[in-house]
């Protein structure tokens, strides 16, 4: 069996890493795309539904032990299910945005999610995006990228994404900006696996670049990996 190749794409919220990672996976035959943030979001939704508070360590552990999590691959994307139900739009509500950093900062949550993510190589080669993929989950990844963009550009991107859901005025943009900065502060300041540039990663500032340009930069480097066959 050919060993799984991992492409790790890390970076802060709204740095463009989700879209880039998804497109990179589409362009690489046989690679599967993994959104690791969705797993932290899923734990958060399930915990909130179960009335589990992030402060309550032993309850959090018991809750994680009992979480009926499954994965499937559909169209080369890893899809998560809890209790047979597929995770969907409920992962991206404002309440989850506000709470996910708190759950993602907990050691038992991170231990469990890291284990689940490592297990996904059973599906083959992966393009995985997140905050600690190149540093903690797959430090030996074949290719590591750290995507960034200026805080203003990230707020503008996230605001555009939310248009229709948040009033498209200055107040909306300011709110998005504050919410992103708060999340970045928690993600970068936490004791366990804080967001940082992984050793050996290529740093790409996407502020003045289109998604397609970033995808090409990533693919150029991925295609240097020995033994990787790609016709995309």
Smallest gap from residue 187 Cβ to ligand DC (A): 5
Q: With binding defined as CB under 6 A, does residue 40 bind ligand DC? A: yes
Cα–Cα distance measured from residue 39 to residue 1, given in angstroms and rounded to the nearest whole number? 28
184 belongs to the binding site for ligand DC (CB under 6 A):
no
Stretch that binds ligand DC, among 34-42, 45-53, 58-66, 219-227 (CB under 6 A): 34-42
- Compare residues 161 and 216 and give the one whose CB is closer to ligand DC: 161
Buried b (16+ CB within 10 A) or exposed e, 175-191: bbbebbeebbebbeebe
* Integer Cα distance of 94 and 43 in angstroms: 15
SS3 per residue for 36-88: HHHHHHHHHHHHHHCCCCCCCHHHHHHHHHHCCEEEEEECCEEEEEECCEECC
d(CA 59, CA 174): 36
In whole angstroms, the minimum distance from the beta carbon of 230 to ligand DC comes to 25
User: Which residue of 5, 7, 9, 13 would you call a contact of ligand DC, by CB under 6 A?
Assistant: 13
Out of 5, 6, 187, 201, point to the residue binding ligand DC (CB under 6 A). Answer: 187
**Cα–Cα distance measured from residue 112 to residue 120, given in angstroms and rounded to the nearest whole number:** 13
Kindly state whether residue 198 participates in binding ligand DC, applying the rule CB under 6 A. Answer: no
Angle between helices 107-119 and 94-104 (to 10 degrees): 100
List binders of ligand DC among 152-171 (CB under 6 A): none
**How far apart are CB 227 and ligand DC at their closest, in Å?**
26
For residue 163, give both structure tokens.
């248009």
| CB of residue 31 to ligand DC, shortest distance in Å | 18
Task: Please say whether the beta carbons of 105 and 190 come within 8 A.
Answer: yes
Residue among 89, 87, 71 nearest 33 (CA): 71
Closest to ligand DC by CB, 5 vs 100, is: 100
Tokens (6 digits) for 179: 């919410």
Question: Which of 8, 24, 37, 214 touches ligand DC (CB under 6 A)?
Answer: 37
Rule CB under 6 A: say whether 34 interacts with ligand DC: no
Lay out the site mask for ligand DC across 105-134 (x = CB under 6 A, - = otherwise).
Answer: -------------------------xxxx-
36 binds ligand DC (CB under 6 A): yes
Q: Is 41 in the site for ligand DC (CB under 6 A)?
A: yes
Considering only residues 80 to 109 of the shown chain, the ones binding ligand DC according to CB under 6 A are 100-101, 104
Reading phi first (left if > 0) and then psi (alpha if -120 to 50, else beta), residue 205 is in beta
Report the interface residues with ligand DC, using CB under 6 A: 13, 36-37, 40-41, 100-101, 104, 130-133, 183, 187
């Amino acid at each position: 069996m050919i060993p799984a190749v991992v492409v790790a794409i890390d970076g802060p919220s709204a740095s463009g890493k989700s879209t880039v990672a998804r497109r990179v996976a589409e362009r690489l035959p046989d690679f599967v795309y993994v959104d690791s943030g969705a797993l932290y979001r899923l734990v958060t939704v399930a915990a909130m539904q179960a009335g589990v508070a992030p402060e309550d360590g032993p309850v959090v552990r018991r809750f994680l032990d009992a979480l009926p999590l499954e994965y499937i691959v559909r169209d080369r994307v890893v899809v998560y299910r809890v209790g047979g139900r597929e995770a969907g739009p409920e992962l991206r509500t404002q309440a989850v945005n506000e709470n996910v950093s708190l759950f993602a900062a907990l050691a038992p949550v991170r231990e469990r999610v890291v284990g689940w993510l490592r297990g996904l190589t059973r599906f083959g080669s992966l393009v995985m995006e997140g905050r600690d993929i190149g540093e903690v989950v797959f430090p030996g990844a074949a290719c590591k990228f750290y995507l960034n963009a200026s805080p203003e550009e990230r707020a503008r991107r996230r605001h555009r994404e939310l248009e229709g859901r948040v009033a498209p005025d200055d107040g909306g943009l300011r709110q998005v900006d504050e919410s992103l900065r708060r999340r970045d502060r928690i993600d970068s300041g936490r004791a366990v696996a804080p967001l940082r540039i992984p050793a050996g990663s290529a740093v790409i500032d996407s502020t003045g670049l289109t998604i397609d340009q970033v995808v090409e930069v990533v693919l150029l480097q991925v295609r240097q990996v020995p033994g990787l066959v790609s016709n995309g």
